[in-house]
Amino acid sequence: METEKIVEYGRKLKEFKLDRKINIMEVCGTHTMQYFHTGVKDIFPENLNLIDGPGCPVCVTANDYLDRAIEIMKQKNVILTTFGDMLKVPSSYSSLQKEKANGGDVEIVYSPLDALKIAEENPNREVMFLSVGFETTIPTEAIAVRNAIKKNINNFTILPGNKLTPPAVAALLSMGEVKIDGFILPGHASIITGVNAWSFIRDKYKIPSVVTGFESKELIFGTLMLLDLIVNNKSDLLNSYKEVVSDEGNLKAKEIINEYFDVIDTDWRGIGVIPDSGLALKEEYAEFDAVKKFPVEVPPVVEPKGCRCGEILRGLVTPLECPLFGKKCTPRNPVGACMVSSEGSCAAFYRYKKD
Ligand code: SF4
């Protein structure tokens, strides 16, 4: 029955009549991948164009963050712990993978709590965790700091690099470089932020949007809901992922984030500094902040020559418009961050469009 319903709605999507070109943007790396992976992108109606937005946390992390992380590791003899998807990201002069191959102390972890455990087991070494991610990962980073205090572990730090997604969408809209007719909003980040965090899209910009899940049926329903709003000129904000996303979001998670972090302006690859879009540890937790604990000179940032990752993150071009795509730049030898992460637009295009 369920399958029949998916097929029926899939057909509805495929046959949806659009009398002009419609641009919709998704702002979640998992959506970037899932639209390809589930085949939903293949049943898009004529005239529907999906633009990938700045929804991949690894991709939007500006080079100076990784440059600083490497300098801290090298200059201060620190064990650097990170999620695996940061490993191959090119920094200005190197990458964590190259540093590890050259003897650098780089450890892959699945959670900041794993990094804390490494600190506990190595009391004579400093352990730094690269805190890169959007709203969903931040509460665990706050818990890691809380546990470090509880257990009196004082050789653990995080390098704050977390980002908040609604300000990035607000920044793109205020720049006005791309005409966006509607947004598919991230299911995961919205679990924390709540639907209401996106109300500015409706109230200020009068653009429709739908919070959507990640399975094929959710992508099909969410896209259909959005197209209905667009063709009927309704600038509503709808939630098609009500099983897990509420209007207010996860209040407990927000509470712990606010307890440990301050909202700050931060730099996004390709977009620049966005007001109130990042997090820094509060002053009372400065001893857990690697930037403060390990001041280092960071060499000038160098962007990879020819890489259009920044423009891709702003929705200005697709990966296929980058002359390096699939030639000099592949997942095996990535030139830019958008080809590294499994959630990156270039990686998704390479995996699903090129094969
Ligand atoms: S294909 Fe590679 S070089 Fe081109 S924009 Fe993507 S990451 Fe950058």
Residue 265: which residues within 8 A CB-CB, separation 6 or more? 273, 274, 275, 276, 277, 278
Q: In this model, does residue 238 exceed pLDDT 60?
A: yes
148 and 13 co-located in one domain: yes
Q: In this model, does residue 132 exceed pLDDT 50?
A: yes
Tokens coding 338:
């958008």
84 and 142 co-located in one domain: yes
Q: How far is the CA of 89 from the centre of ligand 1 (A)?
A: 12
75 and 33 co-located in one domain: yes
Amino acid at 217: K
Q: In this model, does residue 4 exceed pLDDT 90?
A: no
| Mean pLDDT, residues 123-144 | 96
List the residue whose alpha carbon is closest to atom 8 of ligand 1: 307
Asked which of 268, 289, 307 is the last residue of a domain, the reply is 307
DSSP 261-322: EEEEEEEETTTEEEEEEEEEE-GGGGGGBHHHHS----PPP-PPTT--HHHHHTTSS-GGGS
Q: Which domain CATH number covers 78?
A: 3.40.50.11740
Tokens coding 148:
């470090």
For position 6, what pLDDT does the model report? Answer: 85
Q: Which atom of ligand 1 is nearest to the CA of 322?
A: 4
For position 5, what pLDDT does the model report? Answer: 83
For position 33, what pLDDT does the model report? Answer: 93
Q: Quote the pTM value.
A: 0.93
Q: What is the dihedral of CA 350, 326, 23, 2, to 10 degrees?
A: -10
Which pLDDT band, with edges at 50, 70 and 90, does 143 fall under? very high
| Mean pLDDT, residues 268-277 | 96
247 and 347 co-located in one domain: no
Q: How far is the CA of 194 from the centre of ligand 1 (A)?
A: 33
Split into its structural domains, the chain has a count of 2
Average pLDDT, the chain: 95
* Model confidence pLDDT, tens digit, residues 196-234: 999 999 999 999 999 999 999 999 999 999 999 999 999
Q: How far is the CA of 339 from the centre of ligand 1 (A)?
A: 6
For position 210, what pLDDT does the model report? Answer: 98
Tokens coding 197:
């965090």
Instruction: Please list every protein residue whose CB sits less than 6 Å from any atom of ligand 1.
Output: 307-309, 312, 319, 322, 324-325, 329, 335-336, 338-339, 346
For position 2, what pLDDT does the model report? Answer: 78
List the residue whose alpha carbon is closest to atom 1 of ligand 1: 325
Which pLDDT band, with edges at 50, 70 and 90, does 1 fall under? low
Q: Which atom of ligand 1 is nearest to the CA of 339?
A: 7
251 and 329 co-located in one domain: no
Residue 338: which residues within 8 A CB-CB, separation 6 or more? 56, 59, 307, 309, 312, 313, 319, 344, 345, 346, 347
Give the DSSP H or E segment for 71: helix 63-76
Q: How far is the CA of 354 from the centre of ligand 1 (A)?
A: 14
Q: How far is the CA of 304 from the centre of ligand 1 (A)?
A: 9
Q: How far is the CA of 274 from the centre of ligand 1 (A)?
A: 23
Q: Which atom of ligand 1 is nearest to the CA of 312?
A: 5
Which pLDDT band, with edges at 50, 70 and 90, does 321 fall under? very high
* Model confidence pLDDT, tens digit, residues 151-192: 999 999 999 999 999 999 999 999 999 999 999 999 999 999
245 and 325 co-located in one domain: no
184 and 330 co-located in one domain: no
Residue 350's domain spans which residues?
Answer: 309-354
Q: Which atom of ligand 1 is nearest to the CA of 309?
A: 5
Which pLDDT band, with edges at 50, 70 and 90, does 354 fall under? low
Helix ranges, 94-181 (H)? 96-101, 112-121, 138-150, 165-175
184 and 333 co-located in one domain: no
Q: In this model, does residue 332 exceed pLDDT 50?
A: yes
Which pLDDT band, with edges at 50, 70 and 90, does 342 fall under? confident
Q: How far is the CA of 2 from the centre of ligand 1 (A)?
A: 39
Q: In this model, does residue 353 exceed pLDDT 90?
A: no
| Mean pLDDT, residues 91-105 | 96
41 and 86 co-located in one domain: yes
For position 341, what pLDDT does the model report? Answer: 85
263 and 328 co-located in one domain: no
Q: How far is the CA of 329 from the centre of ligand 1 (A)?
A: 6
163 and 183 co-located in one domain: yes
| Mean pLDDT, residues 315-327 | 96
Asked which of 274, 292, 307 is the last residue of a domain, the reply is 307
List the residue whose alpha carbon is closest to atom 7 of ligand 1: 336
For position 355, what pLDDT does the model report? Answer: 44
* Model confidence pLDDT, tens digit, residues 248-264: 999 999 999 999 999 99
313 and 300 co-located in one domain: no
List the residue whose alpha carbon is closest to atom 3 of ligand 1: 307
Residues 355, 176: Cα–Cα separation, whole Å: 34
